[in-house]
Structure 1
Amino acid sequence: MQRNSQLEKLKTENFDICIIGAGASGAGVALDAILRGYSVAMIEKVDFSSETSSKSTKLIHGGVRYLEQAFKKLEPSSLKQVKHGLAERQYLLANAPHLAKPLGIITPVFSWIEGLYYTIGLKLYGLFAKNDHLPKAEWLSKSETLRLAPSLNPKINSGVIYYDGQLDDARYVMALVQAAHAKGTVVANYVEAQSFVKNEAGKLTELLVKDTVNNQSFAIKSKVFINCTGPFSDHIRLMANPAEETRIKPAKGVHIMLPKEFFDSEKAMLIPKTKDGRLVFVIPFKSEVMVGTTDTPYKNLEKEPLLIKEEVNFLLETLTPFLRKMPTEDDIKSGFGGVRPLLSAKTNNQNETKGLLRDHEVEIDEASGLISLLGGKWTTYRLMAEDTVNKVGAILKNNKESSTHFHKLWGAQNQQLNKESFLKSNSNIETETLEHLWSTYGDQATEVLKIAASDKALGEKIIEGYPYLKAEVTYGSRYEMVEKPRDYLARRIRVEILDWNLTKTMTPTVAQLIGTELEWTSEKIEKEKNEYESLIEGFISAKNKFE
């Protein structure tokens, strides 16, 4: 997946489908479309999964809150969302098992009445799941609950455990992008959509874009253009048709990262009641514990959403009744904010909408021909993509059905190699490093080790005491279109969302390794290093001002 050769194809080839946006939905559409025989291009303004898709709660789920709403408020749409999520959960778990796994989630309760209520609800939740063989919900005694999660407040009465899935969201998008690319999709990051070209009938024929790495503009020719830009969808919709009404209602959700000492368990925790009516999850993610999320309106899409004191206080206060030892702002190692693309119904020229839609919608603008995949959530990305490409099939007269249900993604395609055999065949390397490599790259971890073996220096760790190899940066720059230190540290190995201080320490070495592979000048290496260090310093400084 070499960027310069992909750019040349974007400039010179004609495509059936051009996808704008390479998060979960865009990459999902790309894989579905290429498997149906279309010629496909996909571009991303920044880096793959750089926005909403890398900033989720990292759960694969139907949504227990939606189930409660379906029965309490008699909302059939909420029940539909649960069914869709639970049906899709099995595919996400099966198609990239190195990146997705079942996760037990404990709901602590403080009375037997609460225990009975959540046991009934979570058992009902499990009844909607089929064919994924996850354990069913179970009411645990106090001693069983504390054995599984000893960091919980000993004042609890008992706990209810149920199972959903967990994924590394940014790596999952990368596996989708690489799987699509392996089948022939032409992909490139840092390519920004700027304007459309239309024919005499007003239909889209070309997309004018800018390669922001090389500062070059060019046109992409395609029969169909698909807008998969999440919270930025209205920008593309209005670019295609200025007469369209806006439909996206962005909402901000933040997460904080804490050391595992505060919740030392392989299980997660669900806090079912908060003062704003949301659920809060406490989830082990790699080396740390993630707590989230919040839900507030967010209007300034041009700025990256950051932590603010009120949101952090809300999350810490929510934890208070449930933990044996309470964290403070000083204990927060990092945090991140994402923007949900909540969707409003069309007004049909009336003054009020029907409210926010929790499910997705595939919209076709009759005037320009633009297709927009709107709304939805991570867990249903594959279904969203299937629905979108079905719409394309009606336009381009292709009746081939989707085949993504059990299509193994990049890193899970070598059926002769599994985690156990990988660990055994590389027993001369530290287990922690091997575990990290497998959970990041799957069967492609062998390619990282080949790079490490080719140069003794690349076989060294980036920072002693951590499992990350220098060879990974070279691999990312060579095969995963890493163009900046943040691409690697935030999205390829997730260190930025785990620990800001560690990220800052790793940045000089990472910038140098990327620069060596991409043949940067020493001035460019220094510039990229300084820019990213400054960004991380800003995150740390903002957090310190909370105190």
Structure 2
Amino acid sequence: MNRDDNRKRLQEETFDICIIGAGASGAGAALDAALRGYRVALIDRGDIAGETSSRSTKLIHGGVRYLEQAIKKLDLAQLKQVRHGLAERRTVIRNAPHLAHPLALLTPVFSWFEGMYMSIGLALYAFFAGHDSFPKGRWLNKAEALDKMPTLTPQMHSAVLYYDGQFNDARYALALAHSADEAGAAVVNYFTLTDFVRENGQLTQAIVQDQLTGETFPIRATLFLNCTGPFSDSIRLLANPALDRRIRPSKGVHIVLPRETLQSDCAILIPKTADGRVVFAIPFGDKVFVGTTDNDYTDLKHEPVLEAVEVDYLLDTLRPYLAKTPDKNQVQAGFGGIRPLIVSSRADTKTLLRDHEVEHDSESGLLSLLGGKWTTYRLMAQDAIDRVGELLNKPAIGTTELHYLVGGETYRFEDWQVLQKHYNLPTDVCQHLMQTYGDRAERVAQLTAERSGLREKLAESQPFIRAEVVYQVQQEMAVTLRDVLARRWRLELSDWQLTSQIAPLVAGLMATELGWSSQYQSEQIETYQTLLRSFRTQAGLTTERVTTARV
């Protein structure tokens, strides 16, 4: 993806559709539309997946909670949602196998009855999943459960094992945007929509400002599709101030603990907390993510961050399920996101359905894709682009179900050995490159052959190498430190201290590629390190842990 080339296209071309927001739904819609032959522009005020879509629990699932509610309340709408989610779970993994895979989850239970109840529910879950490639779950006795996860509490009676999907959300969204770009879409990040231009009440142009240069100009399109998730109402009201608000934002946070917390490749599903939520503890790389919370959130002008009370809540929730609860000083990072729940008459955010709706405002012509969740992003995009085809009077059939994303088509994890043979890189680096870039991994490795200094690791404890930063700038539209450290890699999410330590090294590599001045480079480093310190302070983690990591 070349930002300068695409930026020029936005100035010169007229598009069938301009999609606002490059998260899961926006990037997914851009790929769908481009594959149908429409002329597509995709813009975002920040980075690709810079908001909610990079801050999920990293699960692809039908929704165990939704199934329970569907059966208890005989709610066919929720049951349909579960079936859709389970069907899409297969597709998400098939289309980007380097970024998504099955994950085993354990639910410790404390009585025979509780185990039977969970087993029946998860057997139904597997039944609705149909004949897919996921392993089948089962009810484990105490010894079997402890064998899979030695850190579980000895107070449990047994545990129920089942499988769902896990994925790298930010890189999945990036793969969608990159695939859309290669299908012909003009994709540009850091473009803020400031206004619309209308003719006879209908939107004809979007006035945008380039956040990197300050330049303002119009994007011309026949239709505009709002895919801004929790920020959808701001775009809707900009297009038509008479509209009612439709989104009820909900904040969810995660804390990050050492991998040793679980000592397992399995995750934990905590099916019910004191306040009726579902919480997961999930291995991700060399860490464990624990979340999520679910509370109303109204301060959309500020990034949702982990707060001290939320750290305590999640540690307290985890306590009954582990033999030893981690200390607060073991929390290494955390992150928050905002769910885009559609307004409902239901009482609280825990019971709001996270399904989706394609809204067409006939007065302005704006389309808005509202609500939804990561697992069903493709169905959401398909519904939205079906509507686009109707309004353009140019219907075309979607083909995303069987379309491999960038990096996925010829991916084989075993090919890390080929990388190692050809480029003599360490085993952990080669495996990391395959799981991050898929069948494009050799393009990164090739940079190390062209410039030997790029083969060096940025931190001894991590597999990240300098060549990746160059590749991410050249091919993945990374333009800020946070683009690299929070989204192209997931280091900011998992280790604030190490992120701060390697930020200057990453900035130096980016400065060379992007032509930063020494002053701008210093400002980038200071701003980012100050942000990371503020995260620690707000989470109540005032002291840095002792580390032997070398950078």
- Is the TM value for this pair above 0.5? yes
- 1:499 paired residue among 487, 495, 504: 495
Q: What is the TM-score of this pair, normalised by structure 1?
A: 0.96
Mapped pair 1:223 → 2:222: yes
| Residue of structure 1 in register with 2:505 after alignment | 509
Cross-structure match for 1:317:
316
Amino acid paired to 1:228: C
Give the paired residue count: 537
460, 474, 479: which is aligned to 1:478?
474
- What is the match of residue 339 of structure 2? 340
Q: Does 1:490 align with 2:489?
A: no
Partner of 1:39: 39
Q: CA RMSD in A?
A: 1.4
Q: Which residue of the partner structure matches residue 16 of structure 1?
A: 16
* Residue type at the aligned position of 2:416: F
Deviation at 1:399, TM superposition (A): 2.6
Q: Write the distance in 2 (CA, Å) between the matches of 1:123 and 1:223.
A: 48
**Distance across 1 between alignment mates of 2:345 and 2:17:** 26
Query: One-letter code of the match for 1:143?
Result: A
What's the secondary structure of 2:150's corresponding residue?
coil
Distance between the aligned counterparts of 1:375 and 1:476, measured in 2? 30
In the other structure, the counterpart of 2:548 is none
Tell me the distance in 1 between the aligned counterparts of 2:536 and 2:270: 27
| C-alpha contact 1:55 1:336 (8 A) present in aligned 2 | yes
Match of 2:120 in 1: 120
Give 1:67-78 correspondences, 5 Å limit.
Answer: 67-78=67-78
How many Å separate the matches in 2 of 1:182 and 1:249?
35
Tell me which amino acid in the other structure corresponds to 1:285: F
* Counterpart for residue 273 of structure 2: 274
TM-score scaled to structure 2, two decimals?
A: 0.96
1:358 is aligned to 2:354: yes
How far apart are residue 124 of structure 1 and its match? 0.4
Question: 1:422, CA displacement in angstroms?
Answer: 3.2
Unmatched tracts of structure 1, length 5 or more: 348-354
Measured against aligned partners, the alpha-carbon deviations of 1:357-409 in whole angstroms (never above 9, x if no partner) come to 43100000010110000000000000000000000111112232110001000
Q: 1:359 to 1:240 in 2, by over 3 A?
A: same
How far off is 1:77 after superposition? Answer: 2.1
CA distance in structure 2 between the aligned counterparts of 1:402 and 1:279, rounded to whole angstroms: 34
Measured in 1, the distance between the counterparts of 2:112 and 2:311 equals 31
Asked if residue 529 in structure 1 is aligned to residue 528 in structure 2, the reply is no
Is the alpha carbon distance of 1:157 and 1:546 closer, same or farther for their aligned partners in structure 2, counting shifts above 3 Å?
Answer: farther
Q: Is residue 186 of structure 1 aligned with residue 180 of structure 2?
A: no
The 2-side partners of 1:301 and 1:72 are apart by: 34
Aligned counterparts, 1:297-316, within 5 A: 297-316=296-315
Aligned to 1:438: 434
Letter of the aligned partner of 2:295 in structure 1?
Answer: T
Could you report, residue by residue, the CA deviation over 1:81-114 in whole angstroms, capped at 9, with x for unpaired residues? 1111111111001000000000011111111111
Partner residue in 2 for 1:331? 330
Task: Report the equivalent of 1:542.
Answer: 538
Determine if contact 1:511/1:525 at 8 Å carries over to the other structure.
yes
> Is the deviation greater in 129-138 or in 370-379?
129-138
Query: What is aligned with 2:405?
Result: 409
Once residues 322 and 474 of structure 1 are traced to their aligned partners in structure 2, the CA distance between those partners, rounded to angstroms, is 43
Distance in 2 of aligned mates of 1:546 and 1:380: 39
**Is the aligned partner of 1:397 residue 2:393?**
yes
Alpha-carbon distance in 1 for matches of 2:309, 2:537: 16
Residue of structure 2 equivalent to 1:377: 373
SS state at 2:382 partner? helix
Question: What does the per-residue CA deviation read over 1:267-311, in whole Å, with 9 as the maximum and x for residues that have no partner?
Answer: 111011101211100100011000000001000001011111221
Alignment-mate amino acid for residue 414 of structure 2: E
**Residue pair 2:419, 2:445 contacting (<8 A) in 1 also:** no
Residue 117 of structure 1: CA displacement?
A: 0.3
Partner of 2:135: 135
**Residues 228-247 of structure 1 aligned to structure 2 (within 5 Å):** 228-247=227-246
Alignment of 1:63-212 (within 5 A): 63-200=63-200, 202-212=201-211
Q: Which ranges in structure 2 are unaligned for 5 or more consecutive residues?
A: 544-551
CA distance in 1 between partners of 2:541 and 2:323 (Å): 27
* Residue 178 (structure 1) shift: 0.7
1:74 positional shift: 2.7
Q: Which moved more, 1:134-143 or 1:284-293?
A: 134-143
Q: 1:457 offset after TM fit, Å?
A: 1.2
1:418 aligns with 2:412: yes
1:546 deviation in Å?
Answer: 7.1
SS in 2 for 1:133: coil
1:422 is paired with a residue of what secondary structure? helix
